[in-house]
Amino acid sequence: MIESLNNEKIKLYAKLNDKKYRYENKLFIAPGKHLVEEAIKSNLVKEILLLQGEENTYNSDVTYVTEDILKKVSDLSNAPIVLAICHMKENTNIKGNTIILDDIKDPGNLGTIIRSAVAFNYETIILSSNSVDIYNPKVVRATEGMLFNINILTGNLPSFITELKNKGYLIYGTDVINGHKPTKELKPHALIIGSEAIGMSEEIKKLTDKNLYIKMNKNCESLNAGVSASILMYTLNEDNYE
Amino acid sequence: MIESLNNEKIKLYAKLNDKKYRYENKLFIAPGKHLVEEAIKSNLVKEILLLQGEENTYNSDVTYVTEDILKKVSDLSNAPIVLAICHMKENTNIKGNTIILDDIKDPGNLGTIIRSAVAFNYETIILSSNSVDIYNPKVVRATEGMLFNINILTGNLPSFITELKNKGYLIYGTDVINGHKPTKELKPHALIIGSEAIGMSEEIKKLTDKNLYIKMNKNCESLNAGVSASILMYTLNEDNYE
């Protein structure tokens, strides 16, 4: 049971809302029941903070805390009744179909794309160094826990793309002018999604094998980045339905 | 030129962040260059507020104001350099393919769905009375101006659905257990999307002609509501590509 906002551990946990402290400590915050359950399944929990008076349904040790502590650590005015402090994931080399994000900046979009990537059987996500941080609490919430179910790599995109090409992956990009209709792709592939503001960078554009385009009404300039990424992943991976 | 935060008009405009005042005055706020341009195209502009010193590129009268006024009216700490005060749309009867939203609560989701609806040639959107308000500034921003390009109706969903059935529309819903793979639909149809938390209400479920389901990896319970609505609209309306 911790009741003091000045407890050293609580002070450290609250700092995890700041990227610098997340990476110094290799820890991040997963707020809410569903995220805590996904964190437990993934064996990444360091400590669970549960509101005093609540029943421990988590089949795991918990530390009881006050509502003020949950507010402080979650940085949410509407505090969750439970949150987990988690170790960052140990990620492996590239495996399975892969999605590559070129400077996605909006936390909601990144979270949505991760959620859809897991839904459509992508196993690896590669983020450019200037993308929004995957452990940003808003991203973590928007993934609905699916960040625990995907292999996450961050770094220089052209190097990763070269590695993928050497492994025989088809590299898909998008192109408003010359893009093709997306259809099911049985070969191993990587799909590149450009940033919300400017799309794929010029350097990256040169590295694609095939470009796709989602045809739309002329009154609409573009789709939300999370939506277009999701439609492309769905169509490339569409399973046979019964 | 207006410089005073106490100007009566500015005080009224700032109140439009509150739903009650929006509907009392039949006005709403469209912040940012792109939204202002879309508002002008739709002839819905009452007044454009532009930051002093900026060039008027809008082919329309503007009122120059201070940054503080733009912050106050937009309710954004990172104020836009321009915003339009707009008249609410005059909506018509149901026309064209229609999307029906059963208590969508998240402003970003509603905005994304409107944007995708225009992209995929839906002409009418029907909102249940408990949905988030379409003129909520967060919704308006997330639509990227597309709310000006769609017919919007709000009210009792079973009555609207009965009207659609009488007009010969096919009513599509979603069903995790017995849903079918979505494919192109040439007949006039309406697609119902349930709320983020509980999906379609029981009353509405009974009114569908056919239910759809987006097949996904078993590790993923569900997609973001904006994403699943967009994938369904895309697949039902998929045009022939060249």
What pLDDT, in 10s, does the model give residues A31-76? 999 999 999 999 999 999 999 999 999 989 999 999 999 999 999 9
Q: Which residue has the tokens 């450290």?
A: A12
Give residue A145's identity as a one-letter amino acid code: G
Q: Which pLDDT score is estimated for A177?
A: 87
Reply yes or no on whether the pLDDT at A221 is more than 90.
no
The tens digit of pLDDT for each residue in A178-220 reads 899 999 999 999 999 999 989 999 999 999 999 999 999 998 8
A59 touches chain B (CB under 8 A): no
Q: Is residue A160 a part of any domain in this protein?
A: yes
State the pLDDT confidence band at B90, using cuts at 50, 70 and 90: confident
* Domain assignment of residue A52, given as a range: 8-87
CATH number at A29 reads 3.30.1330.30
The whole model's pTM is what? 0.93
Q: What whole-number percentage of chain B has pLDDT above 70?
A: 98
Q: Is residue B183 a part of any domain in this protein?
A: yes
State the pLDDT confidence band at A172, using cuts at 50, 70 and 90: very high
Q: Which pLDDT score is estimated for B177?
A: 87
Partner residue opposite A230 with nearest CB, options B146, B230, B239: B230
Q: What whole-number percentage of chain A has pLDDT above 90?
A: 90
Reply yes or no on whether the pLDDT at B110 is more than 50.
yes
Closest CA to B151 of B228, B97, B87: B97
CA distance B187 to chain A (A): 18
Task: For residues A225 and A150, state if they share a domain.
Answer: yes
Contact assessment for residue A140 and residue A168, using Cβ atoms and an 8 Å cutoff: no
Task: For residues B58 and B178, state if they share a domain.
Answer: no
Task: For residues B129 and B170, state if they share a domain.
Answer: yes
- What mean pLDDT is reported for chain A? 94
Task: For residues B118 and B152, state if they share a domain.
Answer: yes
Q: Which pLDDT score is estimated for A240?
A: 54
B223 touches chain A (CB under 8 A): yes
The tens digit of pLDDT for each residue in B15-48 reads 999 999 999 999 999 999 999 999 999 999 999 9
- Do the Cβ atoms of A119 and B226 come within 8 Å? no
Query: What is the rounded average pLDDT of the residues B187-215?
Result: 95
Closest CA to B69 of B49, B47, B39: B49
Query: What is the rounded average pLDDT of the residues B140-165?
Result: 95
Partner residue opposite B231 with nearest CB, options A142, A149, A234: A234
Q: What whole-number percentage of chain B has pLDDT above 90?
A: 90
Q: Is residue A92 a part of any domain in this protein?
A: no
Strands (E), A81-201: 82-87, 98-101, 124-127, 151-154, 170-174, 189-193
Q: Is residue B242 a part of any domain in this protein?
A: no
Q: Is residue B140 a part of any domain in this protein?
A: yes
Q: Which ipTM value was assigned to this complex? A: 0.92
Q: Which residue has the tokens 């990476």?
A: A23
Residues of chain B with Cβ-Cβ distance to A221 below 8 Å are: 144
Reply yes or no on whether the pLDDT at A9 is more than 60.
yes
Task: For residues B17 and B129, state if they share a domain.
Answer: no
Q: Which pLDDT score is estimated for B88?
A: 96
Q: Which pLDDT score is estimated for A91?
A: 84
Q: Which of A40, A62, A87 is the last residue of a domain?
A: A87
Task: For residues A49 and A103, state if they share a domain.
Answer: no
Q: Which of A55, A87, A119 is the last residue of a domain?
A: A87
Closest CA to A171 of A100, A234, A69: A100
Q: Which of B87, B117, B149 is the last residue of a domain?
A: B87
Query: What is the rounded average pLDDT of the residues B220-235?
Result: 95
Q: How far apart are CA B129 and CA A114, in angstroms?
A: 32
Number of domain units in chain B: 2
Task: For residues B138 and B188, state if they share a domain.
Answer: yes
Task: For residues B72 and B102, state if they share a domain.
Answer: no
The tens digit of pLDDT for each residue in A125-142 reads 999 999 999 999 999 999
Q: Is residue B34 a part of any domain in this protein?
A: yes
Q: Which pLDDT score is estimated for A164?
A: 98
Residues of chain A with Cβ-Cβ distance to B239 below 8 Å are: 215
- Do the Cβ atoms of B230 and A234 come within 8 Å? no
Contact assessment for residue B204 and residue B157, using Cβ atoms and an 8 Å cutoff: yes
